[in-house]
Amino acid sequence: MRIALYGGSFNPLHLGHLSIAAYVLSKGLADEFSFLLNPHNPHKSRAELEDPQKRLSALREIVQEINIARRGAAGGPDAAGAPDAAGGAGGAGGAGRDLLSVNDVEFYLPEPLYTFETLEYLSARHRENEYLLVIGADNAAKIERWYKWRELVAKYKVLVYPRKGFDAEQICREYGLTYLPAPLVDISSTMIRKEPNKQEFIDYYLNRDYFCKVFDNIKIMVSYKELGLVNTREMFAKAVKGGYAIPAFNFNNMEQMQAIIQACVETKSPVILQVSAGARKYANQTILRYMAQGAVEYAKELGCNIPIVLHLDHGDSFELCKSCIEMGFSSVMIDGSHLSYEDNVALTKKVVDYAHQYDVTVEGELGVLAGVEDDVKAEHHTYTRPEEVEDFVKKTGVDSLAISIGTSHGAYKFKPGQKPEIRLDILHEIEKRIPGFPIVLHGSSSVPQDIVAEINKYGGALKDSIGIPENQLREAAKSAVCKINIDSDGRLAMTAAVRKVFVEHPEEFDPRKYLGPAREKLKELYIHKVLNVLGSNDKA
């Protein structure tokens, strides 16, 4: 969405306007901001400036510089591309696109110049924008005196920023306006008019260093589309139809990411790169985001542009999901399975409502899996109740649903003597209730016994770890199960490889000499999973 802010002829108020743009962009309320200026505004005397044209080009220069600095920081491929100063439709999602633009809109409306009519005029002629009206609380307090104020409020979003001596929040409640708790530059034309040395005052604030600082200090939302990632929607639809499942492999470091991408490129499989809250803490979310972006580029370099999703595993709060979406995740899981049914519905819906604004897909969960996975723990299974799924999906709007049918987290899924079995009957009952709806299986490692034996042979002490038989998972993948999470098996494979190196080469101390073989072993495992468990090969 591209938002326009009309500023009449250029006046010092644009200092505030820049802050507003920074705030609106940082909150993800818009992904582009256009300043519409009318340099030939006959009412320019209000701005009390000697040379509005000069001011306009100064603003243009600053905006240009901010865009170039941001493009440089983002490192987009067209970092040197020309800015869209002509006020075109604005390319959504392209890397390196400009966040800000300054556009001339020359028009003349007779006095008295009403805000409502100005907005009507602009929105009829420049339809590519959405229009915001941003006003101080002092002006909002007397909005009832504005020309056609009811129509104005009904038709345009009015944002109110704080002003000393006014209760902006109360005013917003009263008139149905939107409170904007923006850290605005507290400067107004009134202030400037009172200033004895106007020009000096303006020169001081209209300073590129000052604005570059304002924009540097805000976190601009990163869209996953800019990183080259995709959401799960199309991927899942194809998987359900095609009778296979997409691998969701967890990663925390570079070797894991490389193994995942190498395996999926070689088998031409779409893939979900999965990050748990624990991984986010361990690796740092900024690094993970750049690694996911790196994964996209790496896959291309390896010769196959496979669809890649960056997914949050077991998000436990709205705030965490929101933060991931702002950081470039294309899919999030909100796990409200430990809550009451009603609370799970409410939390999941809240995340879905937010995520869908940015075309990010959401996985919900019904039923509780036993086992331990990072911070997610449960003693016993609570199987998903098929009679709840239809209502849950309808009320929340989720894009996929994790269910509990006997899979469990961790390497100790079953005790010796227990027959590992997933309840395919519950799965089939769920499928009947929500035909074709994407289902997700967590805790679906198989704990390969040869790998466990290797770990124990080289000094490990893994006791009685048993997983889900791969043939049962393959069976599930043929149904509406379209995402299978595999984490523990990867951990086991890496551990086996590292232990082997340490036992066979105790003199080794170069991390590449043990992480390298660990990466190889992991890649082998993932290729095996894609070909024999998920069936997602050649589906990229």
Closer CB to Zn ion, 483 or 519, in the complex: 483
Asked whether 148 and 114 are in contact (CB, 8 A), the reply is: yes
Cα–Cα dist 225/74, whole Å: 13
Closer CB to Zn ion, 32 or 373, in the complex: 373
**Residue number, nearest CB to Zn ion:** 442
427-466 residues near Zn ion, rule: CB under 5 A: 442
Cα–Cα dist 207/214, whole Å: 11
Can you read off the two tokens belonging to residue 341?
Answer: 């049914």
DSSP string, 85-120: TT-----SS-TT--SEEEEE-----PSS--HHHHHH
The minimum distance between CB 294 and Zn ion, in angstroms, equals 25
* C-alpha dist (Å) from residue 144 to 80, 140, 147: 48, 8, 8
322 in contact with Zn ion (CB under 5 A): no
The minimum distance between CB 468 and Zn ion, in angstroms, equals 13
Asked whether 305 and 227 are in contact (CB, 8 A), the reply is: no
**How big is the site for Zn ion, counted in residues (CB under 5 A)?**
1
523 in contact with Zn ion (CB under 5 A): no
Asked whether 386 and 257 are in contact (CB, 8 A), the reply is: no
Which residue among the candidates 31, 84, 313, 489 is catalytic per the annotation? 313
17 in contact with Zn ion (CB under 5 A): no
The minimum distance between CB 315 and Zn ion, in angstroms, equals 11
Half-sphere exposure of 212 (CA within 13 A, CB side): 13
β-strand pairing of 371-373 with 361-366: unpaired
Cα–Cα dist 24/299, whole Å: 34
Closer CB to Zn ion, 267 or 408, in the complex: 408
Cα–Cα dist 504/513, whole Å: 12
Closer CB to Zn ion, 248 or 283, in the complex: 248
Q: Distance between alpha carbon 355 and the CA centroid of its chain, in Å?
A: 8
483 in contact with Zn ion (CB under 5 A): no
Q: Determine whether 399 is an active site residue.
A: no
Closer CB to Zn ion, 14 or 442, in the complex: 442
The minimum distance between CB 373 and Zn ion, in angstroms, equals 5
Amino acid at 517: P
DSSP string, 66-92: HHHHHHHHHT-TTTTPPP-TT-----S
- The site map against Zn ion for 98-117 (x = CB under 5 A) is --------------------
The minimum distance between CB 132 and Zn ion, in angstroms, equals 41
Dihedral through CA 7, CA 154, CA 123, CA 14, nearest 10?
Answer: 10
Q: Catalytic positions, please?
A: 313
Q: Which residues bind Zn ion (CB under 5 A)?
A: 442
